[in-house]
């Protein structure tokens, strides 16, 4: 029972943080919420993976956020002019997040019955993360948001995949991919600003 | 020594060390010679069999262990290694003439190592993770420091990243299909997930707009390298799925789906190529069309076991390398690569202009060039299956041919009012001439590469056999 409570707490964390990332406009908030989101994802993954592997997911996520954070701190603030053409209203984003919540609620029961032993929290958490990650990808053209969107989708995938695959090699390679994505994101952010502007 | 250590670790280590090289020539030579050596070893030294040198014997084992899983390069994959490293050597030698050796060789070697690892990892589903790592490594190549990354690079990163989870989930679903083959819902889910994964990875219509965009935004030679190596490896990975799962091969929907997708990609690539006004984007459209051609060949190979897939690989590698090098030579003086700014290309860059025309004609299946024999085989096969498909095939190639003729008009239509001297240097002329000669020789003697091509299907147990 305590494990279930912990798992649902993980769902609560990822629900709150992913929605927060969608609504927040300040990158500092994004970083903090992403870090908390990895905590939620690690809690959900720990239901199926040994604690060490789940901790590796958490540490990798935080290292990725740290790399992005260091890059963003060093860059001048700039608003991407193309961003103005995207739907920006908080009400709209909240509505879309609500749709993902409804989708997650609908899929949780079906996913639980389709995949033996996965558990409702892992299905709910993974659908929420992947759904809101796709929403971020679809509603922004800023590199920061796209990288956060991809990281969110991958976090959702990891939560689900942890329930069906326990290989250390896969977990290790997924960590390398997440860290690599963070580093590539940091590189792209750096490259998008001319050196004299930084 | 094990095969994975030789063909995976060596490129990774050499790639890392090549970062320390200071000159373009050194980088090109190190990358080219390493790849050439690895290709020759793959051709000459048998895997898993002892080679005797007097009192000494040399044996390259096929397997290496990594975190409880295996990396296996069996003897049947040696021709593929020889082909990939041989063509890789050509790309790296040409990088100096393109002026990007220092940028391409280190990362290119690492990408090659990662993609070979993706073909070797067991279970083969984990290849998706290694392909994603290779795609991540390619991003700095495509978006150099100091230049704002364009939308196409970001799309490339996004699609390659989204493809990976789809393939991994499809692998898990396919395992379920194997244990309960009658479960139709699971079968459909697995097929949809697999299709989605490969649609992202291979830029299948309508997700392929980043390819021409990338050719326009990034350096043509490094983009050409990525567009050659990544899709070819992913195609071999995709063929592994068809080879491993009998129900996929036996499904008429899969065969007709591959044929339809191939035709859509070929025809859309051909039409856009005919209408395009940027030389870089034109090559991108041709690359999309070439992937469509391989899909068509795969549909024929799956339906009737014909070996029409592998003859595409070497002409594609040669043609793309020549096309990309020609663009890179022109790109040094004309960054935009638009038709309107290249009206004097015939007098300023005659060698590069000739390379552009020959490479595009080969992509369009012009007789006596390397691209012709595999295309005529697929066209013939399609005509036996479906007459309308053969007509659509012709339409796609016609579009590519119009694009090639427009390039020819650009090259020969140069004004002669102001005489100019060719601006290519000796190295560039030599590399371009070698590429053009290779395309012609392979067109005149298609069996020149058969010592490799006929052995490539041995990688698979069921496909094209």
pTM: 0.92
DSSP for residue B218: S
Whether residue B115 is contained in a domain is answered as: yes
Task: Tell me: do B139 and B232 sit in the same domain.
Answer: yes
Cβ atoms within 10 Å of B344's Cβ, excluding its own: 17
**Structural domains counted in chain B:** 2
Whether residue B326 is contained in a domain is answered as: yes
Binned at pLDDT 50, 70 and 90, residue B335 comes out as confident
Whether residue B465 is contained in a domain is answered as: no
**Span B144-200, pLDDT tens digits:** 877 788 889 999 999 999 999 999 999 888 888 878 877 788 888 888 999 999 999
**Domain span including residue B308:** 123-459
Of chain B, the percentage scoring pLDDT greater than 70 comes to 98
* CB within 8 Å: B126 and A173: yes
Q: DSSP characters for B272-324?
A: HHHH--BHHHHHHHHHHHHHHHHHHHHHHHHHH----SGGGHHHHHHHHHHHH
Q: Once rounded to an integer, what is the mean pLDDT over residues B298-319?
A: 88
Ranges of residues in chain A whose predicted pLDDT is under 50 = 79, 81-82, 85, 198
**Structural domains counted in chain A:** 1
Residue A81 pLDDT: 45
Q: Which of B87, B104, B122 delimits the end of a domain? A: B122
* CB within 8 Å: B67 and A168: yes
Task: Tell me: do B28 and B176 sit in the same domain.
Answer: no
Q: Once rounded to an integer, what is the mean pLDDT over residues B428-444?
A: 94
Alpha-carbon Rg for chain A in angstroms: 17
Which of A143, A160, A190 comes nearest B154 by C-beta? A143
Whether residue B96 is contained in a domain is answered as: yes
Which of B133, B143, B145 comes nearest A180 by C-beta? B133
Q: Once rounded to an integer, what is the mean pLDDT over residues B271-285?
A: 94
Binned at pLDDT 50, 70 and 90, residue B419 comes out as low
* CB within 8 Å: B145 and A191: yes
Task: Tell me: do B181 and B36 sit in the same domain.
Answer: no
What's the CA gap between B86 and B72, in Å, rounded? 21
Task: Tell me: do B370 and B399 sit in the same domain.
Answer: yes
* CB within 8 Å: A180 and B148: no
Answer yes or no: is pLDDT of B398 > 50. yes
What's the CA gap between A37 and A20, in Å, rounded? 10
Which of B129, B147, B148 comes nearest A177 by C-beta? B129
Task: Tell me: do B30 and B136 sit in the same domain.
Answer: no
Residue A82 pLDDT: 47
Residue A198 pLDDT: 45
> How distant is the Cα of B146 from the closest Cα of chain A, in angstroms?
5
Residue A125 contacts by C-beta under 8 Å, 6 or more apart in sequence? A7, A10, A11, A14, A40, A41, A44, A156, A159
**Span A132-143, pLDDT tens digits:** 999 999 888 889
Q: How far is CA B463 from the centre of its chain?
A: 20
Q: Which of B70, B102, B122 delimits the end of a domain? A: B122
Of chain B, the percentage scoring pLDDT greater than 90 comes to 63
- Residues of chain A positioned with their CB less than 8 A from the CB of B132: 177
Task: Tell me: do B66 and B180 sit in the same domain.
Answer: no
The ipTM assigned to this model is 0.92
Whether residue A80 is contained in a domain is answered as: no
* CB within 8 Å: B158 and A150: yes
Task: Determine which helix (DSSP H) or strand (DSSP E) holds B70, and give its type and residue range.
Answer: strand B69-72
Which of A170, A177, A188 comes nearest B133 by C-beta? A177
Q: Which of A34, A4, A5 is nearest to A178 (CA)?
A: A34
What is the CB-side half-sphere exposure of residue B372 using CA atoms within 13 A? 16
**Domain span including residue A67:** 2-74+87-197
Whether residue A79 is contained in a domain is answered as: no
Task: Tell me: do B235 and B111 sit in the same domain.
Answer: no
* CB within 8 Å: A141 and B151: yes
Task: Tell me: do B237 and B337 sit in the same domain.
Answer: yes
Residue B416 pLDDT: 60
């Amino acid at each position: 029972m305590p494990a279930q409570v912990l798992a649902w707490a993980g769902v609560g964390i990822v629900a709150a943080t992913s929605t927060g990332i969608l609504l927040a406009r300040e990158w500092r908030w994004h970083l903090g919420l992403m870090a908390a989101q990895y905590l939620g994802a690690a809690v959900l993954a720990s239901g199926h993976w040994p604690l060490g592997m789940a901790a590796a997911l958490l540490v990798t996520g935080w290292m990725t956020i740290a790399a992005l954070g260091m890059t963003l701190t060093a860059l001048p603030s700039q608003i991407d002019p193309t961003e103005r053409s995207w739907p920006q209203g908080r009400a709209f984003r909240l509505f879309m997040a609500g749709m993902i919540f409804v989708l997650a609620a609908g899929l949780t029961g079906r996913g639980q019955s389709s995949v033996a032993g996965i558990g409702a929290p892992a299905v709910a958490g993974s659908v929420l993360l992947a759904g809101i990650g796709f929403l971020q990808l679809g509603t922004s053209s800023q590199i920061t948001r796209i990288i956060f969107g991809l990281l969110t989708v991958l976090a959702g995938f990891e939560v689900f995949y942890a329930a069906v695959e326990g290989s250390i090699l896969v977990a290790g390679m997924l960590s390398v991919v997440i860290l690599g994505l963070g580093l590539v994101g940091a590189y792209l952010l750096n490259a998008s600003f001319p050196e004299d502007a930084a | 020594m094990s095969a994975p250590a030789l063909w995976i670790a060596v490129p990774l280590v050499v790639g890392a060390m090549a970062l320390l090289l200071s000159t373009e020539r050194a980088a090109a030579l190190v990358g080219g010679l390493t790849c050439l050596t690895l290709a020759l070893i793959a051709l000459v030294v048998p895997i898993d069999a002892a080679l005797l040198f007097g009192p000494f014997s040399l044996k390259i084992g096929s397997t290496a262990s990594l975190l409880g899983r295996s990396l296996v390069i069996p003897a049947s994959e040696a021709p593929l290694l020889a082909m990939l490293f041989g063509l890789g050597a050509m790309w790296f030698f040409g990088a100096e003439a393109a002026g990007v050796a220092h940028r391409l060789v280190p990362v290119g070697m690492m990408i090659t190592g990662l993609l070979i690892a993706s073909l070797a990892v067991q279970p083969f589903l984990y290849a998706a993770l290694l392909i994603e790592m290779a795609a991540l490594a390619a991003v700095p190549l495509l978006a150099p420091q100091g230049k704002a990354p364009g939308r196409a690079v970001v799309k490339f990163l996004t699609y390659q990243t989204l493809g990976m989870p789809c393939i991994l989930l499809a692998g898990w679903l396919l395992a379920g299909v194997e244990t309960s083959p009658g479960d139709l819902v699971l079968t459909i889910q697995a097929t949809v997930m697999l299709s989605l994964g490969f649609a992202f990875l291979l830029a299948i219509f309508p997700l392929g707009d980043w390819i021409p965009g990338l050719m326009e935004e990034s350096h043509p030679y490094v983009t050409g390298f990525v567009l050659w190596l990544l899709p070819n490896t992913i195609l071999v990975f995709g063929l592994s799925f068809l080879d491993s799962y009998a129900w996929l091969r036996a499904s008429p929907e899969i065969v007709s789906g591959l044929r339809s997708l191939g035709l859509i990609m070929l025809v859309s690539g051909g039409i856009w190529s005919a209408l395009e006004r940027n030389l870089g984007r034109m090559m991108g459209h041709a690359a999309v069309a070439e992937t469509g051609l391989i899909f068509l060949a795969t549909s024929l190979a799956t339906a009737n076991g014909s070996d029409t897939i592998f003859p595409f690989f070497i002409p594609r590698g040669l043609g793309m390398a020549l096309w990309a090098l020609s663009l890179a030579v022109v790109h040094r003086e004309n960054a935009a690569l638009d038709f309107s700014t290249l009206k004097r290309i015939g007098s300023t860059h005659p060698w590069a202009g000739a390379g552009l025309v020959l490479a595009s004609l080969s992509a369009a299946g012009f007789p006596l060039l390397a691209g012709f024999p595999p295309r005529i085989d697929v066209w013939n096969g399609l005509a036996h299956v479906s007459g309308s498909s053969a007509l659509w095939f012709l339409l796609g190639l016609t579009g590519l041919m119009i694009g090639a003729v427009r390039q020819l008009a650009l090259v020969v239509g140069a004004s002669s009012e102001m005489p100019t001297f060719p601006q290519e240097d000796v190295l560039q002329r030599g590399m371009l001439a070698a590429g053009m000669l290779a395309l012609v020789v392979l067109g005149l003697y298609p069996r020149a590469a058969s010592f490799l091509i006929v052995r490539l299907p041995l990688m698979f147990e069921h496909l094209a056999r």
